[in-house]
Amino acid sequence: MASTTFNIFDTLKTRSVLEVFALIPRVIGFMWRSAPLLLAATSVLRVIAAVTPAIMLWFMKVIVDRVVESLGSPIDWFYILLPIFVITAIRLGNALLSQLNSIWTHILTERVYSSAHAQLLDKAGSLDIAFFEAPQFYDRLTQARRNIFRIQSVADGVPRFLQQFLSLAAVFGLLTILHPLAVLLLIVMTLPRIYYEGYTARRRFDMETEMIRNYRSSDYYGDLPTQREKIKEIRIFGLKQFLVDRFFKFRDIIVRTIIKLNIRFLKLDLSINNLPTIGIALIWAYAVYRTALGELSVGSLTMVVTAAQTAVTSLQGLIGSGGRLFQNTLFITRFFELLDLDPKSISGALEPPRAKSPIKVPSPIRRGIELKNVSFVYPGTEAEILKDVSFSIPVGTKLAIVGENGAGKTTLIKLLVRFYDPTTGSVSLDRVDYRDYELQDIRGSISAVFQDFVHYHLSASDNIGIGNVKHLTNRDVILDASKKAGAHEFVSKLPKEYDTILGKTFDEGVDLSGGEWQNLAIARAFMSESQILFLDEPTAALDAFGEAALYDRFARLTENKTVIFISHRFSTVRMADTIVVVEDGRIIEQGSHEELMDLDGKYRLMFTTQAERYA
């Protein structure tokens, strides 16, 4: 029984603060692998930048004290002015370093983004088709992608946090000259702020998770009118306003939620923000009091007064950074969750080979494919689409599958190329169950062209070559495949022949007719060295003669291969060695054209109906 629970979604729980911060080493590790030198360099610069404010403050104190000291005695100009030179030199150096830092950080960000995105693509590419049928998977993917940029913010936030921590510690050190309790006072006054940061970060994260469907919906409606393949219908049906309205409907939900959230944050913020100001006033009063008593130098007074202000600013900065660090790490959990996604965590996921050492797909294949009592229910649904299907495809056979729309023909092919495993029953190749082979090995022995094949906006040559990437640049092989598929004739008339870019995405792109795109898709199948080929109605846009001629050629050119094809044209179907008739998920007839005509059943009915229409 197919289960409808997608247990990949179990981890959608709020994480504790510690769990979130525990992710930081992983983020840093990730960055380190992406760009070690840049990460090291920017970190060093941050440490340098961290200690400068305290050093500057110290020199300010030195200046004031030296001036006060010199009053009434002969002036040593060098002695008095030296600290100013030092401060100026530090300032200049600092400006240079911060310039360097911003350049390096920019490059680092881009690097990290590239490798993070590449890992995401790699992961998505390794997941079973079943994931791509679950809307929840797209929720996850969207949220992960939206937040990739935060990896950099986390890694950037850690040294920033340490930097602010260091400078705060230094300023606190200066404040203890006045009284150690001054430090404690300021810390207590900012404690509510820590709570505030954690709370708002969590609420923002929860909001994005809750709103992700709305983000996706608005993106969907917003993207439709910008896509070339869609604009024909959008113009004809006058859908522009409809789509814009839908777009705004979802955006409005998001914006209203954000406003509500921020009003709540603002109220909270106003109630806690003024505490530190009171702390500063107390410290100032106490410092003035002690200076008046003569216990503190005027230089120290200036320093303490400034230090109290600086300490509060730093403290708030530190808490703000900590909050952002927490928030960014929280959001980035979605990225790592996706990388960690268990490929088996969805119903319909393919099982890994049962045997310890999987069996190799034989080459050449000797017997062929056999389906035994195959039934199939799409994961997450109830209806049985294939019902107790059994038939065999001996090696070298040209087998046609016919049946009405929705009969289950494409589903059958999906099982034969192992996008899915049967719910019950088995598919076997040379008497070995598909599930006992390594998946990659099966896919390597099979090639297929589907109804909804892709129009690659690449060169004509690449469009064919990707049928077998190892020959991507082998013009002879490509030319051969192109001729076999009947594509050579029109490709050689293109402005740059095989180097012409197809589609309208890129400069000088040329578009093809539906039939011409199909010829290219078939050429891809000819590139393949696979022993078994599947063609799922890739020729519907060819005219009847074009299709018949193509299949005729196809059958001759793939003599020793096993070819399984779906077509609605009986002029093509009749050429097959064996024809399988599917109705409502069952095989109702099978045999050669002659046998099925003699049977006088569904096949004969379909064949004669179509023949009459053409007559």
Neighbour count for residue 110 (Cβ, 10 Å): 11
Name the residue nearer to ligand ADP (CB basis): 482 or 567: 567
Binding piece for ligand ADP, criterion CB under 6 A, among 185-193, 342-350, 409-417, 525-533:
409-417
Task: Give whichever of 199 and 450 is closer to Mg ion, judged by the CB atom.
Answer: 450
- Pick the stretch among 272-280, 291-299, 407-415, 543-551 that binds ligand ADP (CB under 6 A): 407-415
Q: Residue type for 118, please?
A: A
Question: Which residue, 430 or 589, is less far from ligand ADP as judged by CB?
Answer: 589
Choice from 193, 409, 418, 488 touching ligand ADP (CB under 6 A): 409
For helices 298-339 and 36-70, what crossing angle results, to 10°? Answer: 170
Which tokens go with 459?
């060169």
Q: Which of 88, 176, 262, 381 binds ligand ADP (CB under 6 A)?
A: 381
Closer to ligand ADP by Cβ: residue 303 or 576: 576
Smallest distance, ligand ADP to C-beta of residue 410, A: 3
The answer to whether 3 contacts ligand ADP (rule: CB under 6 A) is no
Interaction between residue 348 and ligand ADP (CB under 6 A) = no
Residue 405 Cβ vs ligand ADP, minimum distance, rounded to whole Å? 4
* Nearest CA-CA partner of 364 in 563, 577, 560: 560
Q: Kindly tell me which residue out of 6, 221, 331, 378 binds ligand ADP, with binding defined by CB under 6 A.
A: 378
Binding-site partner at residue 157 among Mg ion, ligand ADP, none, CB < 5 to 8 Å by type: none
Looking from the CA of 232 toward its CB, the CA atoms found within 13 Å total 1
CB of 540 to ligand ADP, least distance (A): 12
Minimum CB distance to ligand ADP, residue 391 (Å): 15
- 384 binding ligand ADP? (CB under 6 A): no
What is the chain's length?
A: 615
CA–CA gap between residue 407 and residue 31 (Å, rounded): 51
Using CB under 5 A as the binding rule, the residues of this chain from 407 to 426 that contact Mg ion are 409-410
Structure tokens at 338: 């996706």
When the beta carbons of 397 and 410 are compared against Mg ion, the nearer one is: 410
Please report whether residue 371 would count as binding ligand ADP according to CB under 6 A: no
Q: Is 209 in the site for Mg ion (CB under 5 A)?
A: no
Q: Show the 3-state SS of 585-602.
A: CEEEEEECHHHHHHHCCH
**Residue placing its CB nearer to Mg ion in the complex, 398 or 409:** 409
Map residue 502 onto helix, strand or coil. strand
Which region, judged by CB under 6 A, interacts with ligand ADP, from 72-80, 242-250, 323-331, 405-413?
Answer: 405-413
**SS3 letters for 5-70?**
CCHHHHHCCCCCHHHHHCCHHHHHHHHHHHCHHHHHHHHHHHHHHHHHHHHHHHHHHHHHHHHHHH
Burial class of residue 180 (count of CB atoms within 10 Å of its CB; 0-12, 13-18, 19+): exposed
